[in-house]
Amino acid sequence: MGGPRFIQIRASAGSGKTFALTRRFLELLRASRPFMPPSACGAEDPDGFAWPEIMAVTFTNKAATEMKERVVAALKGRALGLDSPTAQAWSPELAALFLERILRHYHLLNIRTIDSLLSRLVQMFALDLGLPPDFEAVFDDEELFGPLYDALLAAARDPSRPEAALLERSMDSLLHLERVNGFWLQERLRDRLKDVFTHVLRSPCKPLSDATELSALLADYHAEFTRVAAEVDAALAADDIKLLANFRKYLDHCLLSKPEDEPKDSVYAAKESIVACLPKACQGLAMAEHEQVYARFREQAEAYRTMWTALTGAGRLAPFLDLAHLLLGRLADQERELGLVLASAWPLLASRLLGHDGGVPEAFCRLGVTLRHLLMDEFQDTSRDQWRAVLPLAQECLSRGGSLLYVGDVKQAIYGWRGGEARLFEEVGSDVALMAIAGLEQEELVYNWRSRRQVVEFNNAFFGLLESSDNARAVAEVLLPDSAPEDAKALLAEDLWRSFAMCRQQVPAKNHDATGLVRVRTVAASSTDELETETHGLLTSLIEDLRERGRDWAEIAILVRSNAQAALVAGWLLEEGTPVITENSLELASHPLVRQLVAFLAFLDYPLDGLAFWQCLQGEELFLDACGRSRQEFADWLAGQDTSSVAWRFRRDFPDLWEAWFAPFLSRAGLMSPYDLVMRALDIFGVLRRRPEDEPFAQRFLEVLHRAEERGFRSLSTFLDFWRRKGGEERLPMPEHVDAVRILTIHKSKGLEFPVAIVPFHHWPAGPDHSLAQVGDPAAGASLLVPMRKELGPQYWQRQCQGLLEQVNLLYVAWTRASEELHAFVPPEGLTRATLVTALDLMLGLAGRSEEDALMQVGQPPRRMRQEEVAPLAKLHSAQAAQAETTPANTETLVRWLPRLKVYRHFSADTQYGFTQSERGNVFHAALEYLVWLGADGDICGEAMESAVAKALSLYPLSKDLREQAADELRQGLGWFLGLPQAAHWLRNGRPETSLLNEDGKVLRADLLVELDNELHVIDFKTGMPASDHREQVLGYMRLVARADGRPVRGYLAYLDRRELQEVIPGTGGMAA
């Protein structure tokens, strides 16, 4: 591939960014060796690089998954001799070779998110950082802040503790310095402390918080200000020059002021000349020395106002800063105790690990693989902390003759609120250290492959206006308030011009003749209420028109700014009977069936939880439809009851229902995992037979249960605790084949495309900036943490400009999602306080819309036939839906083996090494779980055993010879076990992989637990030779089962290789064959 390459690619909306990244990845893959890389701790391979040394970093998990799928699909297509645009140079033989290697070692296909990369680095050095290696990522600071804050309040109850004094100071700050009104200050106190804690967590610098030092600094600045004011007064008085009355008052106020007094805002502190401060009779007396002293006063007045705002703001935050540092000191202990690490800390930790000499080689050694080529996607959304952490890896790649490629579009930078820094896109391209290794190569993807010609041309004409510096300046002036300084307007104008320079795209030939449509309509309204009503009417009419023109529901997407707007639009459409899908409608925790299943688990965990049991009784999705009773019947029953347990009263008054639906679960809740309980509940209650439309939510909930179990949340109580913390984050993936209108936020729409995109709202208020700022104090040589205020000057206006630029970027993202039709409803200018509407009005006028036009249209409505075969979600499984049954399944077989969705790892590193003892055991266990028993007479089905052998081996990549050998071993071992007289009975009535909780809270797994009428059997399967700890392991299982159930327990060890079944007898020190 030649020498090192440093490549920057600009990729506007719809320009095929993912295609370009995939093609580059495949080019590097083709130039690599198809074999495994040498040890990362050894010498460098002189023959090139191995394919795992290529890494692509994406912004989201969805993007990483999509790119992996594209790489595999391209190789598969070429291996089959098919054409593949991204892999045209590949021969079928080479593609087949690489495809086999990648699928065999899929975990080495290095396409991951930047969070995943940083997490992996931190995990490799976890012990060095004092962290548990199996830590769990926390993406919400609240998850760790909440317990810390609760502990703080508990400690503050003791007035002798330092926490009490700090809390008192913080309350005084809220009451007296910030002048917060009202009696309920707890939430304000907590919110303020959390803001400060979050800032401190992400900032390596410790701001000044000592009240005495802050007061002394303020006094010094005040003294200097009054000294300069006195100079002005003395210089004018010496020459007997009179002052205008208002200037005299202002100057006297300055001379008599105290440090705690807020500086007075006066026009006489910002005049261009001293002459403007003098009466006409004295203006001719002003000389150069008077102008000089006034210029010093003007500068000092501005500087003092800024520093007064900063120092008094720092004083208000000082007690909160001390509290935040107190909590930060306890954070590490809490992270270790809970096994949690804040994801926001990963960049700083990774940067610290890689930044020192030898950090990168050591990281490669621990990761087990080096890097030669690095590709970074969506670079405009990368934060400075993230880039600082990745930079050593990029330098290493280039210095080893590899490459760094980064792709982005600053016009689509919409994650500044999350730390994204669009300016990095240009800054990295001019990085001296990187360019010293390899000169920058710049590329631009000029074609828009997504949208039809009319959509592209409209966006070219509209956003292309900002390519003119004059237009950019005009837009900046209407976006910013009149009070904004000249520097701020110039900064925003330059940012707009730089972001949208060269934004015009070309239309490929395939889209030239296709018809597209753009309609931008001004909503006729004289008030905000009328604006909402009119928008509702226009949206309803537009969707009716789209349907009449043959559009399917699924082709329409409505893009909004906030979840509140999404809920509003969803309500409108649902009133009209329009099927809709929103982000919130896909939340698992909000779905009725999932809520009832969680309540069912909560009841099983604690049967005295009357609220959970009552939620089960009132749920139509789970219980009511299954048992054929009504909600009102149980409500009437509850109204006349006493205050004893709801569940026990229900057992007394409805014994048949209790025994049929609840008793079997309750008696075995401790022996079954949450996954198996829910799986069995769905079966017994007949949920999926009665309500096939709920199956996607049920399957997703089962997936969450399975993942939670893999992470150690195997008991009811631990899972419920996990769900309370994390359940609100779980969503059903957006279905692709459901005929319903999509309603989603613009942020969530990024990277997506829709045949019809509708943007109904454009009055996006910027809102006041309540964030915190860290400013430098030149006198103290330290930094100050202060609330963001306009008086801070340049830093405030820079933040305002970033927010306004992001609003224009959001507009660009929204208007470039449409492939065929774009519809936008724009409020009349001046109706709302949103300055974006004013900028829209200005730019639409520059683009050719006259003031009289309520509608601006480009193109004509395309006509097409509706695809009737796309079915609504409720009908996806209607052909298979059975009539709901009102009697449960046979509960006597509740704990018989349940077919479980399990994920097995590919255990081998390469096929040539064959089986290890551990791997053989894993495959034997997998085969045992796959066994299927047919008939009531206990006869063994030979086809079932062959199926189990084939399925178990399909999870394990083996050569033909090894596969045949392994199959023979499996058949012999399983055949011996199946020939045991107990085997049929055990497998028919037993449950594999049963979770048991020991005294230390550790979860153990018994291979097979069998429940008989009067006793229970525990069977553990082993391969290889007997070991001394096997007996103790089974005895431990037996003790836990006996303690949980009370019935006698017998234990067995089944040695599959030795063909031996040994009974484990407690107290004898031996075993019986």
Where is the binding site, in residues? Answer: 11-18
Residue in the block written with tokens 């011009």: 497
Q: Three-state secondary structure along 425-469?
A: HHHHHCCHHHHHHCCEEEEEECECCCCCHHHHHHHHHHHHHHHCH
CB 218 within 8 A of CB 308: yes
Rounded to the nearest 5°, which phi and psi values hold at 1021? -95, 140
CB 836 within 8 A of CB 808: yes
Which tokens belong to 55?
């890494």
Residues 6+ apart with CB under 8 A from 705: 673, 674, 675, 678, 719
Residue in the block written with tokens 């799986």: 679
CB 762 within 8 A of CB 827: yes
Residues 6+ apart with CB under 8 A from 793: 302, 306, 485
Q: Three-state secondary structure along 1008-1066?
A: EEEECCCCEEEEEEECCCCCHHHHHHHHHHHHHHHHHHCCCEEEEEEECCCCEEEEECC
Please state, in angstroms and as integers, the Cα–Cα distance from residue 146 to each residue in 142, 157, 327, 434, following that order: 5, 17, 11, 43
Residues 6+ apart with CB under 8 A from 201: 141, 328, 331, 342, 344, 345
Distance CA 322, CA 280 (A): 55
Q: SS3 of 142, please?
A: helix
Strands 556-560 and 818-826: unpaired
- Length of the chain, in residues: 1073
Please state, in angstroms and as integers, the Cα–Cα distance from residue 39 to each residue in 54, 366, 369, 635, 913, following that order: 15, 10, 7, 68, 17
Strands 136-138 and 556-560: unpaired
CB 894 within 8 A of CB 663: no
The candidate with the shortest Cα–Cα distance to 783, out of 149, 380, 205, is: 205
Radius of gyration of the CA atoms of the chain, in A = 35
The candidate with the shortest Cα–Cα distance to 622, out of 667, 674, 681, 669, is: 681
For residue 444, what are the β-bridge partners? 10
Known binding-site positions for ATP: 11-18
For residue 129, what are the β-bridge partners? none
CB 804 within 8 A of CB 787: no
Q: Three-state secondary structure along 574-619?
A: HHCCCCEEECHHHEHHHCHHHHHHHHHHHHHHCCCCHHHHHHHHCC
